[in-house]
Amino acid sequence: MHARVGLAMERGSLLWGSVLIALLSAGMLVTVVGMLIVVGDLGCSTDFIGSRCAGLVEQFAPWENIAQGLTGLLWVLPTGLGALLGVGITAGEIERRSAQVSWTLAASRTRWLLVRAVPVALALFLILTVAAGFAEMVARGRLMTDDAGFHDYQLRSLLVPARGLLAFTIGLGVGAVIGRTMPALLVAVVFSAASTYGLLVLIDAWHLAAAFFVRMDDPLLNSGIYPLVASSSAGPGPDPQGLLLIPPSEYWVWVLREGGLLTLASLGAALIALGVVQRRSP
């Protein structure tokens, strides 16, 4: 019942957000099918070796470019959509001047925020997970493999909905502070993008600290797997050219670590939002 109220209040934004994600997912599906049709069952790999595969490069490239462009949208969509849904709950209520009534009638403001925000957060998580699933298919299609390793992992794993939830909770807080939807949306997007970028810098430093040195001629680099390259680096020894990398076997460890960081940041932002809602005059 309460969940239905929360969803009903934001149905317009959720509907158009779902349309956006559905169109993006459909686009990704079309590109995957396009790539599959081009390579067929020839057993080509990404270096397109052999005369039959080499002739397919120019047919494959346009599909790959579109796929890359569509997947790239997942850098901005979770942030934009999350901030918009978060701002709509708090700033929308204050701007419509209905906060005076709803906050007074609710058992507590904490309860009001939970009832309004949790169902929307779950819906956001669900639709962004769907988009991340299609991005996973795109990565496998582009690389022609069942294990894309760390390739574009921040655009196709649980990190996509986690970034959306961070923007959502920041949107809740900024919306409660500013109390007007459009200015709050702009500020929330800027804050969310800055927070996400800050976390990416932090996680990059962590990658660098945990990565190990592999020489350029190491068989690992030519084994058709996709490690996380933290940096190209000059290492020790007489032939120092190589890469600092993390093997694909540690994929889930790093996804969970990064997801954990994003979730912690989201919880922090949610607590701040709750504090603002508790103290703000409606």
Partner 1 sequence: MGALRMAWKLQRWEITTLAAVGAVLAVTLLAVGWRMESVQASAPDCWQTDVDAVLPQSAVNECAQAYAEHDAARTIGSMAGAGVVLLPFVLGVVLGTPVVAREIEARTASIAWSVSRSRGRWLALRTLPILAFVVLGIAVIGLSSLTLQRQLTGGEVGFGSLIPQLPVLLARGLLALAVGLVAGTLLGRTLPAVLASAVFLIAISIGLSIGLDVWMSAEAKPIAELDGTSSKVYNSGLRDDATGELINLDAFLAREDADDMLEIPPPGMTMVHWQIPGSEYPVWMAREAGVTGGLAIVAGVAFVLTALRRRP
Residue numbers at the binding site for partner 1 (CB under 8 A):
12-13, 15-17, 19-20, 23-24, 27, 51-52, 54-56, 58-59, 73, 80-81, 84, 87-88, 92, 96, 178, 180-183, 185-187, 190
Rounded CA-CA distance 248/226 in Å is 6
3-state SS assignment for residue 214: strand
Among 61, 59, 58, 69, residue whose Cα is nearest residue 28: 69
CB nearer partner 1, residue 55 or residue 224 = 55
Q: How far is the CB of 13 from partner 1 (least distance, A)?
A: 5
Among 154, 149, 21, residue whose Cα is nearest residue 75: 154
Rounded CA-CA distance 276/84 in Å is 18
Q: How far is the CB of 103 from partner 1 (least distance, A)?
A: 19
Supply the DSSP string of 152-191, one letter for each residue: TGGGTSTHHHHHHHHHHHHHHHHHHHH--HHHHHHHHHHH
CB nearer partner 1, residue 13 or residue 266 = 13
CB nearer partner 1, residue 127 or residue 158 = 127
Structure tokens at 110: 């904490």
Q: How far is the CB of 81 from partner 1 (least distance, A)?
A: 8
Structure tokens at 125: 């998580």
CB nearer partner 1, residue 89 or residue 148 = 89
Q: How far is the CB of 189 from partner 1 (least distance, A)?
A: 9
Rg (CA), the chain: 22
CB nearer partner 1, residue 75 or residue 206 = 75
Q: Which residues contact 59 (CB under 8 A, 6 or more apart)?
A: 38
Q: How far is the CB of 260 from partner 1 (least distance, A)?
A: 27
Among 197, 199, 77, 221, residue whose Cα is nearest residue 135: 77
Q: How far is the CB of 59 from partner 1 (least distance, A)?
A: 7
Among 10, 279, 240, 219, residue whose Cα is nearest residue 120: 10
Q: How far is the CB of 162 from partner 1 (least distance, A)?
A: 21
CB nearer partner 1, residue 127 or residue 165 = 127
CB nearer partner 1, residue 80 or residue 149 = 80
CB 269 within 8 A of CB 169: yes
